[in-house]
Every structure is written in structure tokens, then in C-alpha cells.
């Protein structure tokens, strides 16, 4: 375990542009020089969320320039919503935070993403530990079909190689945190796919939470859910922000309005406006934001 | 880029036309109420009272329309500000209609052949003209989102306020005759109603600035006079 104090990366290093990524090697024993940044979350200092700072972030799919020089800070204990028309780069931007973007063949990112003082793209940073620090919830609930409810939640812990924790306790705590405990406590060994869509999505959030990340990214987490399940997940998001930094991509502007503290509007890969949510929806600063939220262009 | 939400936009426009049209109804009621005062026309005054149902009906229509729009269309940004402002506007329309009724109801009370004072009558007439012009200016400022025109209403309104105080002073000094004094007291009440109508037009003007800038600021209020 690396003590917190030694985590400071050389400032010169954080300024380095992110290099093109080769296919990621997920080895069981990370190379000696790779820093396991995720151990930070076990030092007990991490009950509160952390700053995620994107600096001059560019993302490409081959020759397509999907994100064009975004600078933004996602502050701790706040929900930041990203809105914008399809293809504006909002998912891509978010997927750069936990280095999912680079998994796509031909995709690359430039610029910097830091979690507090740690450069997520630093040469000595292990990508598995990045994913442990930055959890992600996807559009469609994706429980592992062959696994029980318990194993689904434990899977995150096992995959990230978290050791020395009480698995039972972590899983139970995560299920309580997402409000699923009462609904599933008597059938933890039944398959996860036997749950309803809304329950499955909360199960997936529990899987993310069990790892005790510092940041949770959500990419359209409710678009496959019915209204009641949606509201439950939204309530959960509100509770989770006490512990985490949350970034949510949503096509549903009313959802952004309901759950987020600040809202980001993106268009054509650029960040157009980042304002407190109530301000963005009552008096947006940028004419383009106004036109988008009022539906003056489709 | 293609504009969407065509039906919503049409509905919002209709609602605005309906609400601002309420100001025309008020103007008609005000003209009749003042004519009734000037000519002691009790019958005309009765019409003003009866026709207030039209204004109340308009209030209910617009109010319901706004609720529907909020529930069904969740307007945001400028659209939301317009909807919120229209709620104020239609409330002012309803209040101003009531003030016209208040004026009309004083007509039969003030007596058929009561003595009159020309200074007070002239001042009332002048106040009526000002209230009328403020009504149409508030309407125009809202429809054209004209902040300058809206702010100019404060200047006009100070003249109505001045005349209101002048009528009060004149009534205090009007002399010993009981009937004349009684009539003067009624005229103070009429002046007060006109002064309130002026205030309501200023409230509408404040909403114009809110719609355009997103910021609400009272132009003037009793506790912080300009």
C-alpha cells in the first residue's frame, strides 16, 4: 500500500500529453513500477469524494476528433450532469476519465485527467487501479448472467483484485447502500438476472460501490428503466454523492435537472456551458444552451 | 438546425396573447368606470361590475393554460421565464379588474347631485389617462420584450403617485360642507384605485425585465423609494 503522501506526481509529469495507448495489459501482478493508485481508497481518508480535473482533453476515434479541448473540474460530493445532442462527445469525454475510451481500436486521448493530484494517464499508473478508483454504470443493466446476486456484487471486488477485505460484509454494505438489501437479502444465491430491470441496475451500482471507488461515472443509467425505477436510481444518486464524485451522462434533460448540482452542455465535442443546474435551466448563459434546452434545435 | 416543439411554442404564444389581451379588457373596464364617475352614471357602473366576470374568466383560462403547459411541456430557460411572468401578468390583470369594480361601486354611493370640486375631478381624469397609457405601454413592452419601454413606466407611475397625493391634500382642505367632504372622501378612494392600477402596470414591466434578463429586480418599492 502506498501512503497518501507519496502519491504526488511530479508536476512536470502531469503536464505531459497522454500518449497513444497500446492495448491494455491486464496482468495479475502489475509490473513493479506501476503505481497502484487505487490503494488510496483504503487509507480511510476517502469518505468524501475527490476532484476530477480534465485539462485540454482531446479524444479521437481514428481521424474523428470527438472531444475538442475540454477543461473542466468535477468537484467532490456533487453530481455533475452532461447533456448535449447525440454525437456531441459527452460519453466519450466521460469514458476518458476511467480510460475506457482507449479500449476502442483506433481511439486515443490527449490532454490530462487527474484525480486530485494523480495523473490517471501517468506512465506509471496501472489501468486496473484507475478503474477501481473510477467506477462506471452503463445504460443497460449488465449483471453477469451466470452469477448469483451475491457473486454479481462481489465480482467487482474480485476483478479488481481487492484483497484483505471481508467479502460478505462489503457485499452486504453495498446492497444496503443501493437500497436493495431488503428486496434481496433472502435470495442472495439466486441469479442476478432474475431481478427486475430497475433492481438489476441497482445491483450493478452495488457492484460499482462495493469496490469503494472515489468517482462514479454513469452513462445513461436510467434510459432502460421504467419511471419508478428511474426515480429510485435518482434518489440513490443523491445519497451516493455524500461519498463520491458523480458524473452522469443523460439524454433526459429533466433527469439532469432533478439529480445534478451542476450541468455541462456539450456541442460538437466542445464544452459550451458549465453552470449550476438551476441556473442552466432558468437562465442559461450561452445562446446555444438556450436553444438546446428549449428544443429550438433538434 | 431545425426548430422542434412546434405545438408547445404555438401554445405558449397563444397563452401570451390571451394574457396580454386581458389588459385590453382592463382598459375597457377602466374607461367605463371613469366615465361612470365623471357622469354619475350608475347604470354604466353596474355594467363594469357585471363585466368583471369576463376578466375573472380570462384569469382562470390563462391560469389553467399555464398549469397545463407546466405539467405537459416542462418549459425551461426563456420559455420558463415567460410562463412564470405570464402568471404574474394575469394576476395583475385580475387585480386591476377588481380595482375598476371598486371604482364603479363607489359611483352609486357618492350620490346623484353631490357637489363637486373641479381640481379633484381634473386630477382624477388626468390619473385615468395616465393609467390608461401605462396599461398599453406595459402591454407593448411585454409583447416586444422592450426593457427600455418597461423601465420608462416607473417615471410615468411617479406622476400618478404625485396626483394621488395631491387629491388627498385637496380633499383635506376642501372645507366644512359635509356633502362636499363626503364626495371628496369617495374621490380619495377612486384615486387610490387608480394609483394601484399604476402599480400593477409597473409590476408587469418588472416581469418584462425578468423575461429578458433572467433577473428579477423591483424597480421601486414602498420600503426603498427611488
Give the model confidence (pLDDT) of B121-138 as tens digits: 999 999 999 999 999 999
| Residue linked to cell 385637496 | B170
Cβ of A290 under 8 Å from any chain B Cβ? yes
Confidence of residue B68 (pLDDT cuts 50, 70, 90): very high
Determine contact, residues A49/A76, Cβ cutoff 8 Å. yes
Q: How many whole angstroms separate alpha carbon A66 and alpha carbon A108?
A: 10
Of all residues in chain B, what percent carry a pLDDT higher than 90? 79
Shortest CB distance from B1 goes to which of A281, A283, A297? A297
B77: closest chain A residue by CA = A282
Helix, strand, coil % over all residues of chain A, rounded to 5:
35, 25, 40
Q: Mean pLDDT throughout A216-236?
A: 90
Q: What are phi and psi of B19, to 5 degrees?
A: -65, -45
Residue B1 lies in a domain: no
Q: How many whole angstroms separate alpha carbon B113 and alpha carbon A157?
A: 95
Residues recorded for chain B: 226
Q: And the C-alpha cell for A167?
A: 467479502
Boundaries of domain holding B88: 6-213
| A19 secondary structure, DSSP code | P
Q: How many whole angstroms separate alpha carbon B103 and alpha carbon B187?
A: 9
Minimal Cα–Cα distance from A289 to chain B, Å?
9
Q: Mean pLDDT throughout A257-274?
A: 96
Q: How many whole angstroms separate alpha carbon B52 and alpha carbon B93?
A: 11
Determine contact, residues A4/A36, Cβ cutoff 8 Å. no
Minimal Cα–Cα distance from A292 to chain B, Å?
10
Q: Mean pLDDT throughout B179-196?
A: 94
Q: Are strands A245-249 and A215-219 parallel, antiparallel or unpaired?
A: parallel
B2: closest chain A residue by CA = A297
Residue B126 lies in a domain: yes
Q: How many domains does chain B have?
A: 1
Cβ of A86 under 8 Å from any chain B Cβ? no
In this predicted structure, what is the pLDDT of residue A5?
43
Alpha helix segments (H runs only) across A181-263: 181-184, 197-210, 227-240, 253-259
Q: How many whole angstroms separate alpha carbon A167 and alpha carbon A153?
A: 10
Q: Do A257 and B2 touch (CB under 8 A)?
A: no
Q: How many whole angstroms separate alpha carbon A242 and alpha carbon A226?
A: 25
Q: How many whole angstroms separate alpha carbon B125 and alpha carbon B108?
A: 19
Q: Mean pLDDT throughout B155-173?
A: 95
Q: And the C-alpha cell for B197?
A: 392600477
| Residue linked to cell 353596474 | B46
Q: pLDDT tens digits, residue range B85-114?
A: 999 999 999 999 999 999 999 998 877 676
| A254 secondary structure, DSSP code | H
Q: What are phi and psi of A232, to 5 degrees?
A: -65, -45
Residue B17 lies in a domain: yes
Determine contact, residues B104/B46, Cβ cutoff 8 Å. yes
Residue B149 lies in a domain: yes
Using alpha carbons, select from B204, B150, B160 the residue that is nearest to residue B22: B204
Chain A positions touching B85 (Cβ under 8 A) are: none
Determine contact, residues A247/A259, Cβ cutoff 8 Å. no
Using alpha carbons, select from B197, B91, B42 the residue that is nearest to residue B135: B197
Q: And the C-alpha cell for B202?
A: 409597473
A296: closest chain B residue by CA = B3
Q: Which domains does chain A have, with CATH numbers?
A: 4-293 (3.40.50.300)
Cβ of A283 under 8 Å from any chain B Cβ? yes
Q: How many whole angstroms separate alpha carbon B32 and alpha carbon B28?
A: 6
Residue B205 lies in a domain: yes
Sign of the torsion angle spanned by Cα atoms B45, B48, B53, B55: negative
In this predicted structure, what is the pLDDT of residue A30?
42
Residue B50 has pLDDT above 90, yes or no: yes
Residue B222 lies in a domain: no
Q: And the C-alpha cell for B166?
A: 395631491
Q: What are phi and psi of B113, to 5 degrees?
A: -120, 35
Which residues of chain B are at the A interface, by a Cβ-Cβ cutoff of 8 Å? Answer: 1-5, 8, 74-81, 213-215
| Domain of residue B139, CATH code | 1.20.58.220
Residue A3 has pLDDT above 60, yes or no: no
Q: Do A293 and B76 touch (CB under 8 A)?
A: yes
Residue B209 lies in a domain: yes
Residue B179 lies in a domain: yes
ipTM: 0.78
Amino acid at each position: 500500500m502506498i501512503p497518501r503522501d507519496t502519491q504526488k506526481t511530479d508536476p512536470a509529469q502531469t503536464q505531459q500529453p497522454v500518449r497513444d495507448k497500446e492495448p491494455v495489459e491486464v496482468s495479475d501482478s502489475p509490473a513493479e513500477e506501476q503505481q497502484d493508485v487505487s490503494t488510496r481508497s483504503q487509507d480511510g481518508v476517502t469518505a468524501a469524494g475527490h476532484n476530477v480535473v480534465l485539462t485540454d482533453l482531446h479524444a479521437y476515434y481514428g481521424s474523428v476528433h470527438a472531444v475538442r479541448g475540454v477543461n473542466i473540474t468535477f468537484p467532490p460530493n456533487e453530481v455533475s450532469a452532461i447533456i448535449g445532442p447525440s454525437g456531441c462527445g459527452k460519453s466519450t469525454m466521460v469514458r476518458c476519465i476511467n480510460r475506457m475510451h482507449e479500449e476502442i481500436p483506433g481511439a486515443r486521448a490527449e490532454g490530462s485527467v487527474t484525480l486530485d493530484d494523480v495523473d490517471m494517464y501517468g506512465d506509471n499508473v496501472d489501468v486496473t487501479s484507475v478503474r477501481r478508483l473510477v467506477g462506471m454504470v452503463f445504460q443497460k443493466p449488465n449483471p453477469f448472467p451466470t452469477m448469483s446476486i451475491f457473486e454479481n456484487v462481489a465480482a467487482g471486488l474480485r476483478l479488481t483484485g481487492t484483497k484483505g477485505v471481508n467479502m460478505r460484509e462489503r457485499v452486504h454494505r453495498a446492497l444496503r447502500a443501493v437500497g436493495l438489501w431488503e428486496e434481496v437479502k433472502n435470495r442472495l444465491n439466486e441469479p442476478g438476472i432474475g431481478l427486475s430491470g430497475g433492481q438489476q441496475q441497482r445491483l450493478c451500482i452495488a457492484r460499482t460501490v462495493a469496490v469503494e471507488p472515489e468517482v462514479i461515472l454513469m452513462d445513461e443509467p436510467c434510459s432502460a428503466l421504467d419511471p419508478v425505477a428511474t426515480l429510485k436510481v435518482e434518489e440513490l444518486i443523491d445519497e451516493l454523492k455524500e461519498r463520491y464524485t458523480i458524473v452522469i451522462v443523460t439524454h433526459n434533460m429533466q433527469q439532469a435537472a432533478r439529480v445534478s448540482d451542476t450541468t455541462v452542455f456539450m456541442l460538437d465535442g466542445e464544452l459550451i456551458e458549465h453552470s449550476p443546474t438551476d441556473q442552466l435551466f432558468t437562465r442559461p448563459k450561452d445562446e446555444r444552451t438556450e436553444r438546446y434546452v428549449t428544443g429550438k434545435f433538434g | 438546425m431545425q426548430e422542434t416543439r412546434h405545438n408547445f411554442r404555438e401554445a405558449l404564444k397563444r397563452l401570451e396573447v390571451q394574457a396580454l389581451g386581458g389588459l385590453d379588457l382592463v382598459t375597457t373596464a377602466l374607461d367605463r368606470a371613469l366615465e361612470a364617475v365623471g357622469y354619475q352614471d350608475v347604470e354604466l357602473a353596474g355594467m363594469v361590475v357585471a363585466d368583471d366576470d369576463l376578466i375573472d374568466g380570462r384569469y382562470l383560462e390563462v391560469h389553467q393554460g399555464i398549469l397545463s403547459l407546466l405539467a405537459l411541456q416542462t418549459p425551461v430557460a426563456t420559455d420558463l421565464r415567460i410562463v412564470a411572468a405570464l402568471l404574474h401578468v394575469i394576476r395583475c390583470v385580475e387585480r386591476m379588474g377588481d380595482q375598476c369594480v371598486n371604482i364603479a361601486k363607489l359611483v352609486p354611493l357618492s350620490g346623484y347631485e353631490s357637489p363637486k370640486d373641479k381640481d379633484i375631478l381634473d386630477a382624477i381624469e388626468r390619473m385615468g389617462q395616465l393609467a390608461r397609457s401605462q396599461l398599453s405601454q406595459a402591454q407593448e413592452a411585454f409583447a416586444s420584450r422592450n426593457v427600455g419601454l418597461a423601465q420608462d413606466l416607473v417615471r410615468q407611475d411617479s406622476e400618478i403617485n404625485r396626483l394621488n397625493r395631491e387629491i388627498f391634500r385637496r380633499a383635506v382642505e376642501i372645507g366644512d360642507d359635509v356633502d362636499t367632504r363626503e364626495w371628496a372622501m369617495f374621490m380619495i378612494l377612486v384615486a387610490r384605485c387608480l394609483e394601484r392600477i399604476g402599480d400593477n402596470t409597473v409590476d408587469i414591466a418588472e416581469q418584462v425585465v425578468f423575461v429578458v434578463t433572467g433577473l428579477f429586480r423591483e424597480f421601486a418599492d414602498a420600503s426603498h423609494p427611488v
